[in-house]
Amino acid sequence: NAGVMQNPRHLVRRRGQEARLRCSPMKGHSHVYWYRQLPEEGLKFMVYLQKENIIDESGMPKERFSAEFPKEGPSILRIQQVVRGDSAAYFCASSPPTGSHEQYFGPGTRLTVT
């Protein structure tokens, strides 16, 4: 029973490049959440998606950031024209469709912008 998968685990991008982070939820889970953790801080909510729908993107920066969860394939968090301040750990979580409050996290993607 595979858990939440994220790839890549580490990603290095130069300023101005694009970063694409992928997340495959646990089997049977249809809700996906993205969180960001800056150094020495807690996790901050970014976006909540269900298949083909963005449910809540109130935590997402208005520019350069986008997320999708297509009918087929993983959820993608896309950061365009990265800046040094985007360097962080990005975690994906999933939960089942039954309204469970528990979210199960992947191992994260550590993005470093040079």
Partner 1 sequence: DQQVKQNSPSLSVQEGRISILNCDYTNSMFDYFLWYKKYPAEGPTFLISISSIKDKNEDGRFTVFLNKSAKHLSLHIVPSQPGDSAVYFCAASGAGNMLTFGGGTRLMVKP
Residues at the site binding partner 1, with contacts judged by CB under 8 A: 4, 6, 31, 33, 35, 41-45, 48, 55-56, 58-59, 91, 93, 95, 101-108, 110
Residues 39-57 as b/e (b if ≥16 CB within 10 A, e otherwise) read: eeeebeebbbbeeeeeeeb
Distances (CA, A) of 97 to 18, 32, 94: 31, 10, 10
Q: Quick check: 7 and 109 in contact, CB under 8 A?
A: yes
The stretches of the chain forming alpha helices (DSSP H) are none
Smallest gap from Cβ 49 to partner 1, in A, equals 11
Using the minimum distance from each CB to partner 1, give the nearer residue, 16 or 97.
97
Smallest gap from Cβ 92 to partner 1, in A, equals 8
Smallest gap from Cβ 14 to partner 1, in A, equals 23
Query: What is the spatial distance between Cα 4 and Cα 102, in angstroms, rounded to a whole number?
Result: 13
Using the minimum distance from each CB to partner 1, give the nearer residue, 4 or 11.
4
Smallest gap from Cβ 87 to partner 1, in A, equals 15
Using the minimum distance from each CB to partner 1, give the nearer residue, 63 or 102.
102
Query: What is the spatial distance between Cα 108 and Cα 98, in angstroms, rounded to a whole number?
Result: 24
Using the minimum distance from each CB to partner 1, give the nearer residue, 14 or 36.
36
